Structure 1
Amino acid sequence: MERWVEETLHGGFRVRLKADRVLFDSETEHQQLIIFENSDFGRVMMLDGVVQLSTRDEFVYHEMMAHVPLFAHGKAKRVLIVGGGDGGVLREVLKHPEVKSATLCEIDRSVIDLAREHFPDVSAGAFDDKRTRVVIADGTKFVHETDDRFDVILVDSTDPIGPGAVLFTKEFYTDCRRALAPGGVLVTQNGLPFLQASELKQSASYFRDLFDDAFAYLATTPSYFGGSMSYGWATDDKDLRHHKLKKIERRYKKAGRFPTRYWRPDMQLAAFALPTYIRELVET
């Protein structure tokens, strides 16, 4: 009998994916997790009824979350990833030779363990890199209490339901600001502006209260159904999202021109060109 798995994130919009083979389907300590094979998207992970990862297109989200802020910053040595238990963002962060340490704070150990078992190519050895530190903890608690200061903080969270909801609050963003080193950058997963406009609008409002530069950038990941994905952007250095193409190209060359499938120096600039309806969410 055929099995179809439905994504339930949106109130008036449903998508179903055919599960050709189910590899895992159970409650973890924090959330419902299913991993299955699909002929179009490859191996898929869903948490609480929402697609988190597809092996066919994971490179889009992971590259854009990591490389845009790191190449904008230019000399980030200490990076914090909140969430990201699949290891994809960690993999991309560690491609930057100037990064000396990457801390990954994940609330659900099961996500890391299952991702390492079923998605080994996503982390691609990143968890075993000597620069990696894994902390199993509530990200809000970790950021509130840490004495470390980070050049870049990447919030690779689920949507604001279940355990991910607290990662969209002003209190959490305030703690992130405290944990940033001077000139640091905060980047957040902020959903699909077409279907989740209020999510981006609220986060951008908080960013404007806390930082000198609050904005967003975009990338399109096919398995995140409903349009472009937005990444929230917050920093006190207003110059970081306005670099010229040649500067990004020089930084990419210095980093070794590692291979990418979505990010490119010109995509770095293009990602900040927002359609009017999204720009209005960010600026008003």
Structure 2
Amino acid sequence: MKIRVLGPSYSIEVPLKVLENKNSSYQQIVVGESEGFGKCLVLDGEIQFATVDEYIYHEMLAYPPAIASGAKNALILGGGDGLLARRLLDFGIETSIVELDKEVMETCKKYFYEEGSSSLDEADIIIGDALEYTGGNYDLIYVDLIDYYKEPALYNREAMEHYKSLLNDSGIIVFHSDYPDMPKIKEAATPLFKNSITYAAYVPSFFSLWTFAMFSDNKIDVEKIEKSDIRGRYFSNDMFWRYKDKAVDVDPNYWEKS
């Protein structure tokens, strides 16, 4: 079969050898293998990650906020594959996951256990809706939900206020999105927080520059990230410096003008 790699203004088809194809109560779940990208998780026809380069996305999402915050606990809204949680647990951060679709978790444990889904046996798992979750007082929150262009209601002012209610007074919250959508997320989140920083990384299997934004009422300690000696397969303090602030003022019509 072929899967689509979708963004706000593009669609690319990628051939995939299907290893499993099923429907949960919420979505179609496909695990397949691509000649160029390795094993892939595909939800409702759209690639979520590929084993050949998932570390780029997950390290850049996980490491800068974890370093800057010095968090002792973290909440992931979404992230049912467990690969983000794997990075946080390896940091020694107590991690909770709120995931709507239990079938995604079970499928990932079957096919991506060694890549990081082993974390699903270690993290605190809450099966439920991110917009209905009310527990906790977290140092660090990752909003790792459906992309903005598919579910903008997950990123409106009301949703942002809910996510902030789960954060402690000095905590950091993190969002990610395709390049053109970050200004819309920032527009909704910025009025609620005193400080923010945006950074980016190119993810080949997404065929896109992917952007990340941290928000906090406290100063975000960028210097702590830039002086960190933590190294991943992709992440380093030098890599963060090169990408920092690349997406602060993205033109929403970027793709139409290119």
TM-score (norm 2): 0.90
* Partner residue, 1:121: 114
Q: Look up the equivalent residue of 1:216 and give its one-letter code.
A: T
Question: What's the secondary structure of 1:140's corresponding residue?
Answer: coil
CA contact (8 A) 1:140 1:166 kept: no
Q: Measure how far apart 1:201 and its partner are.
A: 1.2
Structure with greater strand share of residues: 2
Match in the other structure for 2:11: 14
Within 5 Å, which residues of 2 pair with 1:37-116? 37-74=33-70, 76-97=71-92, 99=93, 101-116=94-109
How far, CA to CA, are the matches of 2:149 and 2:27 in structure 1?
Answer: 10
Structure 2 residues without counterparts, runs of 5 or longer: 252-258
Measured after TM superposition, the shift of residue 9 of structure 1 is 4.1
1:60-84 superposed Cα distances (whole Å, 9 cap, x missing partner): 111111111000112x111000111
Does 2:21 align with 1:25?
Answer: yes
* In the alignment, structure 1 residue 260 sits paired with structure 2 residue 232: yes
Deviations 1:9-53 (A, max 9, x none): 444x2211111x211223211112221111110011111222101
3-state DSSP of counterpart to 2:110 = helix
Structure 1 residues 219 and 157: CA distance shift in structure 2, 3 A:
same
Structure 1 residues 9 and 49, CA gap change in structure 2 (3 angstroms) = farther
- Secondary structure of the residue aligned to 2:248 is helix
What is the total number of aligned residue pairs between the two structures? 251
Q: Residue 116 of structure 1 aligns to a residue in which SS?
A: helix
- Please state if 1:220 is matched with 2:202: yes
CA root-mean-square deviation: 2.0
Q: Which amino acid aligns with 1:90?
A: A
Structure 1 pair 16–244 and aligned structure 2 pair: CA distance change class (3 A): closer
Letter matched to residue 149 of structure 1:
N
* Correspondent of 1:158 among 141, 146, 149: 146
Q: How does 1:223-234 map to 2 (within 5 A)?
A: 223-225=205-207, 227-234=208-215
Q: 1:46 to 1:187 in 2, by over 3 A?
A: same
Q: Distance in 2 between matches of 1:30 and 1:161?
A: 18
Residue aligned with 2:132, SS: helix
Alignment of 1:136-155 (within 5 A): 136-142=127-133, 145-146=134-135, 148-155=136-143
Identity over aligned pairs, percent: 25
Compared CA separation, residues 156 and 244, structure 1 to 2 (3 A): closer
Return the TM-score normalized by structure 1. 0.82
Alpha-carbon offset, residue 161 of structure 1: 5.7
Q: CA deviation at 1:103?
A: 0.4
Q: 1:27 is aligned with what amino acid?
A: N
Residue in structure 2 matched with residue 180 of structure 1 by the alignment: 167
